[in-house]
């Protein structure tokens, strides 16, 4: 009876209505009206991330994102200044793969949001000054201090990337970058980056919320139409990293407990195996009944927590298992216990019931993403940027629907070899 209930809930599968077209300058435009609140979200993705930086300029894509908020030729004011008094919510973010910007604001202010977004897409560098650049370098270096240098275990992500992807690989250095390389950025770097990547033909615009389609189309044409197309930038995607042996790396830091991370390079976002590994992570570590939690936290009481996830990325993903030791226990004990659970799980196989539970969690998560206009806008834009199809949601969901215990176990066997992986440990400094 319960199964029936679940099936009926998912009969109304998550979906987002939209229409898509392209401006003559190459800008992808996706419109998704939703009149539930009198607000509109303007969401722009640029297909450029820290993976596209040049050598010696780590952190630059993100520093550039900050400069996008410091004024453009026809609106040379802080980006917050005109929008904040309207009650707008706005921000931007950069990761290894892409950069996004959004502002959600009262629906009648759509023209202002489009004007500002178009102006910084087309005419950013005319308003750039050495003062703005040097100020934002300091801000970004403080962002690094706040999120990576000062918190315990804050360097773990940086070390995971650096030890998984070799020197020179686009994923070798985390998006936040190195202090000295952030500091080295010049005005010329900003201009070159802008003219190479910040082009309408390398961007995707999504409107979600309370607007009239014809009116929105005319406004998009008015403000984005004059932005000039540029030469299509090329991404240089390297061959996938393949581990041939186990590598162990140990770090000390101002931390109270030992913590370990196991990392395997895995298929990129939407590639075969990617969704199966999501479901494997769920079976291994989501919930108190999961295999790793039961063993490490509940039964053996070696760990305070344990997590597993498939960190999906555009060019290559990583599957990560991490655990924090309880007082009196060590990272080595955790590694041994995790290995035992993985060996047993591989032997017995993840079950259909475990896969079903993971699938349900993902479907609920999708519904959650669709409950806000910004969530919808960002999802449409992520699909359009990665696949060219804003309507990829049904295919994305289809990956989870078609996964079975057999496909999950096959991905487990193929992508998580016990002898070809990275093991990183962070432990307390010697007293």
Q: How far is the CB of 153 from other proteins (least distance, A)?
A: 9
Q: How far is the CB of 159 from other proteins (least distance, A)?
A: 17
Full DSSP string of 327-355:
TT--HHHHHHHHHHHHHHHHHH---HHHH
Place of tokens 């087309």: 122
Cα separation, 430 vs 252, whole angstroms: 8
User: Smaller CB distance to other proteins: residue 261 or 264?
Assistant: 261
Question: Of 52-60, 147-155, 244-252, 405-413, which part binds other proteins (CB under 8 A)?
Answer: 147-155
Q: How far is the CB of 353 from other proteins (least distance, A)?
A: 8
Q: How far is the CB of 222 from other proteins (least distance, A)?
A: 6
Residues 344-373 that bind other proteins (CB under 8 A): 356-357, 360-361, 363-364, 367-368, 370-373
User: Smaller CB distance to other proteins: residue 168 or 328?
Assistant: 328
Angstrom CA distances, 117 to 43, 208, 242, stand at 9, 15, 40
Q: Please tell me whether residue 36 binds other proteins under the rule CB under 8 A.
A: yes
Q: How far is the CB of 238 from other proteins (least distance, A)?
A: 25
Q: How far is the CB of 422 from other proteins (least distance, A)?
A: 25
Question: How is the beta sheet containing 422-428 ordered, strand by strand?
Answer: 247-253, 422-428, 259-266, 317-325, 303-311
Helices 352-369 and 274-285, axial angle in degrees (round to 10): 110
Angstrom CA distances, 97 to 47, 141, 284, stand at 7, 21, 27
Residues 148-207 that bind other proteins (CB under 8 A): 149-152, 195
Q: What angle (nearest 5°) sits at the alpha carbon of residue 406, between those of residues 405 and 411?
A: 95
Tokens of 256: 């109270």
Residues 48-77 that bind other proteins (CB under 8 A): 74
Q: How far is the CB of 384 from other proteins (least distance, A)?
A: 22
The DSSP H or E segment spanning 206 is strand 203-209
From candidates 55, 130, 168, 288, binder to other proteins by CB under 8 A: 288
Q: How far is the CB of 14 from other proteins (least distance, A)?
A: 7
Residues 244-273 that bind other proteins (CB under 8 A): 254-257
From candidates 17, 37, 246, 252, binder to other proteins by CB under 8 A: 37
Cα separation, 291 vs 271, whole angstroms: 26
From candidates 110, 302, 403, 408, binder to other proteins by CB under 8 A: 110
From candidates 27, 29, 31, 39, binder to other proteins by CB under 8 A: 39
From candidates 103, 117, 159, 210, binder to other proteins by CB under 8 A: 210
Q: Please tell me whether residue 114 binds other proteins under the rule CB under 8 A.
A: yes
Cα separation, 9 vs 395, whole angstroms: 18
From candidates 111, 233, 238, 349, binder to other proteins by CB under 8 A: 111
Residues 325-344 that bind other proteins (CB under 8 A): 326-327
The three-class DSSP label of residue 257 is coil
Cα separation, 188 vs 176, whole angstroms: 20
Q: What are phi and psi of 410, to 5 degrees?
A: -65, -40
Q: How far is the CB of 99 from other proteins (least distance, A)?
A: 18
Q: How far is the CB of 245 from other proteins (least distance, A)?
A: 33
User: Smaller CB distance to other proteins: residue 327 or 419?
Assistant: 327
User: Smaller CB distance to other proteins: residue 263 or 325?
Assistant: 325
Q: What angle (nearest 5°) sits at the alpha carbon of residue 362, between those of residues 356 and 368?
A: 140
Torsion angle of C-alpha atoms 19, 36, 207, 310, degrees rounded to 10: -90
* Contact string 289-328 vs other proteins (x = CB under 8 A): x----x--xx--x--x-------------------x-xx-
Place of tokens 């308003």: 127
User: Smaller CB distance to other proteins: residue 135 or 307?
Assistant: 135
Angstrom CA distances, 1 to 6, 126, 355, 360, 401, stand at 9, 64, 19, 16, 20
Tokens of 335: 């590694």
Residues 81-100 that bind other proteins (CB under 8 A): 81, 84-89
Cα separation, 292 vs 284, whole angstroms: 6
Question: Of 112-120, 166-174, 389-397, 399-407, which part binds other proteins (CB under 8 A)?
Answer: 112-120
Q: Please tell me whether residue 287 binds other proteins under the rule CB under 8 A.
A: yes
């Amino acid at each position: 009876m319960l199964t029936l209930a679940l099936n009926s809930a998912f009969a109304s599968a998550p979906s987002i209505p939209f229409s898509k077209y392209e401006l003559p300058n190459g800008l992808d435009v996706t419109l998704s009206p939703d009149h539930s609140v009198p607000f509109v979200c303007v969401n722009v993705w640029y297909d450029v991330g820290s993976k596209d930086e040049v050598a010696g300029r780590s952190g630059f894509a993100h520093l550039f994102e900050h400069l996008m908020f410091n004024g453009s030729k026809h609106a040379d004011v802080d980006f917050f200044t005109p929008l904040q008094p309207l009650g707008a919510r706005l921000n931007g973010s950069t990761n290894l793969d892409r950069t996004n910007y959004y502002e959600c604001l009262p629906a009648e202010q759509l023209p202002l949001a489009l004007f500002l977004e178009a102006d910084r897409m087309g005419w950013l560098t005319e308003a750039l000054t050495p003062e703005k650049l040097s100020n934002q370098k300091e801000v970004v270096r403080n962002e690094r201090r706040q999120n990576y240098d000062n918190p315990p275990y804050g360097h773990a992500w940086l070390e995971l990337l650096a030890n998984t992807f070799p020197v020179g690989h686009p994923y070798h250095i985390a998006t936040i970058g190195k202090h000295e390389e952030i500091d080295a950025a010049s005005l010329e770097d900003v201009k070159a980056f802008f003219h190479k990547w910040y082009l309408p033909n390398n961007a995707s615009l999504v409107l979600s919320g309370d607007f009239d389609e014809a009116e929105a189309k005319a406004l998009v044409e008015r403000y984005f139409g004059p932005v000039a197309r540029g030469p299509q930038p090329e991404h240089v995607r390297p061959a996938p990293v393949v581990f041939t042996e186990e590598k162990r790396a140990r770090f000390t830091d101002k931390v109270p407990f030992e913590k370990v991370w196991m990392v395997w390079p895995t298929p990129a976002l939407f590639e075969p195996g990617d969704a199966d590994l999501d479901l494997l992570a769920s079976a291994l570590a989501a919930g108190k009944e999961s295999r790793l939690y039961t063993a490490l936290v509940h039964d053996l009481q070696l760990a305070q927590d344990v997590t597993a996830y498939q960190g999906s990325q555009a060019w290559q993903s990583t599957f990560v298992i991490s655990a924090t030791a309880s007082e009196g226990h060590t990272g080595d004990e955790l590694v041994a216990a995790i290995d035992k659970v993985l060996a047993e799980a591989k032997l017995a196989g993840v079950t259909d019931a475990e896969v079903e539970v993971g699938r349900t969690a993902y479907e609920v998560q999708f519904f959650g993403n669709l409950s806000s206009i910004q969530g919808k806008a960002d999802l449409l834009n992520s699909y359009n940027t990665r696949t060219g199809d804003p309507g990829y949601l049904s295919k994305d969901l289809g990956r989870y629907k078609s996964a079975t215990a057999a496909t999950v176990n096959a991905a487990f066997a193929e992508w998580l070899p016990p002898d070809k992986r990275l093991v990183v440990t962070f432990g307390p400094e010697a007293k």
